A and B are shown apart, each in its own frame.
Chain A
Amino acid sequence: MSETTAAKIPVTVLTGYLGAGKTTLLNRILSENHGKKYAVIVNEFGEIGIDNDLIIGADEEVFEMNNGCVCCTVRGDLVRILDGLMKRKGKFDAIILETTGLADPAPVAQTFFVDEDVQLHTRLDAVVTVADAKWLSERLKDAPEAKNQIAFADVIVLNKIDLVSKPELAEVEARIRAINPYAKLHRTERAQVKLSDVLEQGAFDLDRILEIEPEFLEAGDAHDHDHHGHDHHHGHDHGGVKHYHDEDMQSLSLRTDKALDPTTFLPWLQGLVAAEGGKMLRSKGIVSFVNDAERYVFQGVHMMLEGDHQRPWKDGEKRESRLVFIGRDLPEQAIRDGFANVIPA
């Protein structure tokens, strides 16, 4: 699959709650001198003042797939637009899709998983979520869309940090990490992020998924280093569910250094996402299998899961399996027990 990836046109999904700064970021991407041409899919014309790029209006039409699963949805308008844009392949290098502030990123991501024609010609590069440092904590309490956008993000642009104090910033970052520990996070004012930090991320590319996330699942450990002077959390559960009392969304991470057996691990994983698909927003993992020289990588959106061998384990590389699940009201103990059951004795 990696051979064809290069020829596919990358699509960056730009999301974020109303007023977070999506359009500011989009304007920067389009006006900066980067020598690339973008096709831009937006909901509202006129918001962005550019002339030369290919701009298409979208409807955000969400279709249920007829497999009896209500969480399996695709963006019908996106299928249509991407199909049409492929006629003009060669006129642009990449596609940027700006969603409305209230949009759920799941149907967008799933479109790239399930639609054969979309898969053939394009690849989802990353979901980039712009978050408002000042108001995100409030939105996480009252707006499920804002939570979904954080949960789905591969890259989070935490904007307007000039409007908050240091403790407020730490608080909002902790909230983000409680939901999504593996997204790359950039702190910005006026969406002044390096474009190389948001574009060409390859976050949905199984071959690159972990190359660009060297600290995959390390984030939870990493920020403990700031805790000098705080109470020590002896015995606190590394990689466990971190709850805020008002949060129904959380991440759960698992790891083991025992090589797993694909004949028991994969059915468990598939069963888990099938059973919890509605609540399971995203899943990602890197797996070390018994007698397997290559790393196995998977990722999923709701019930949809894809996985493949990625590359050989490097000499001296720690062979361990690391998984993360992000979802709503996930049955943590049952998942931990299930995982424990598939770890060979």
Chain B
Amino acid sequence: MSDFDPLQEQASIVSVTDRVRPVTIDGAVVAVHFLGDKAAFVGAEENVWLVDELGQRAVAVHNGGILCTAADDQRLLIGGDDGKLVELNRNGDVTLLATDAKRRWIDNVALHPDGAVAWSAGKTAFVRSAKGEVKSLDVPSTVGGVAFAPKGLRLGIAHYNGVTLWFPNMAAKPEVLEWAGSHLAVTFSPDNKFLVTAMHEPALHGWRLADSKHMRMTGYPARVRSVSWSAGGKGLATSGADSVIVWPFASKDGPMGKEPGMLAPLKAKVTMVACHPKQDILACGYSDGTILMVRMTDGAEILVRANKGEPVTALAWNAKGTLLAFADQTGDAGLLEI
């Protein structure tokens, strides 16, 4: 591990570390989301910890490992290796949404603004409409990621050799976007014009949805585990390198033929990125425990947490953009009010 100390080497860097409220979670944290102003720290097993200024409490959500999460401001979806899909709301109430008939792992989840949810187990993707009606689709290989398109009820399902686009409420045959290789996390651009997957290999792949034109986004030294759209969807910030790689999506061609922006280089790998919901600011966490806030327009940095040695595994803003939550793989966590 690097003993690089940003405080010493970059004396001019602004720090807000003294304003961070430390939070201690009992165990590894794999994700964090906000339910209103409550931060929900998701443990690797069994529990979610709800934390606000009044204190913290653990809520049991699974009987086993937690494999995937998705959240909006109202609810948090959690899939587990117990074959269960559960929802946690702002009050901390847990609702069981589905149990896999074969008790397979729930590998991926996604949320739709109208209340629909999606999840996958093995090669099967499921969509449960807001009214509670469940439909499923089998894809050629194990689902690597699911995401709802921003418009209509349409699900992107990433798998080996491509992505299947499925309208659960239409009889039409699902459309398949092909690209050789194993596709994991999948995300639609907020303007619904592009679809991007993080691949098993250290690369992203994208398609322009209007004409299925390919976009190869390569050059990463490590697999891309975390992606985040900037406010308004102008850029896609990504982990996987020793700086935050931001691909430009403002023009009709997206990042085709363009160089990505590279922000906040450090002698450590970026593990998590989270763009501010309203401004051109992002937060990024590194493999050495450092957390920075970065202004995307000029790269100005503010130190949120100094390097402590453990990789950052969770990072999120609340919907208003006034709170930043983070945690590392040992459960060392914090909340920052901006």
Contacts and interface: CB of A to CB of B under 8 A. Distances in A.
B181 A66 contact: yes
A255 to B, nearest CB: 38
A76 B67 contact: no
Contacts of B223: 116-117
B81 A84 contact: yes
Interface residues of A, number: 20
Contacts of B187: none
Contacts of A116: 222-223
Interface stretch (A55-63, A199-207, A323-331): A55-63
B113 interface: no
B85 to A, nearest CB: 15
A87 B28 contact: yes
A80 interface: yes
Given A61-B160, A63-B182, A76 B66 contact: no
A211 to B, nearest CB: 29
Contact of B65 (A57, A76, A79, A87): A87
Contact of B66 (A64, A65, A85, A87): A87
Main secondary structure of the interface of B (DSSP, over half): loop
Contacts of A84: 65, 67, 81, 105, 107
Interface residues of B, number: 24
Contacts of A59: 122-123, 142
B81 A76 contact: no
A116 B64 CA distance: 25
Interface string B99-123: 0000011010000000000000011
Interface in B185-204: 200-201
A220 B279 CA distance: 70
Contacts of B105: 56, 84
B160 A76 contact: yes
Nearest to A79: B200
Contacts of A332: none
B180 interface: yes
B86 to A, nearest CB: 16
Contacts of A74: 200
Q: Would you list the 6 A-B pairs with minimal beta carbon distance, nearest first?
A: A87-B65, A87-B44, A88-B65, A66-B181, A63-B182, A84-B67
17 contacts: A61-B160, A63-B181, A63-B182, A63-B200, A66-B201, A76-B182, A76-B200, A79-B200, A80-B107, A84-B67, A84-B105, A85-B65, A87-B44, A87-B45, A87-B66, A88-B65, A116-B223
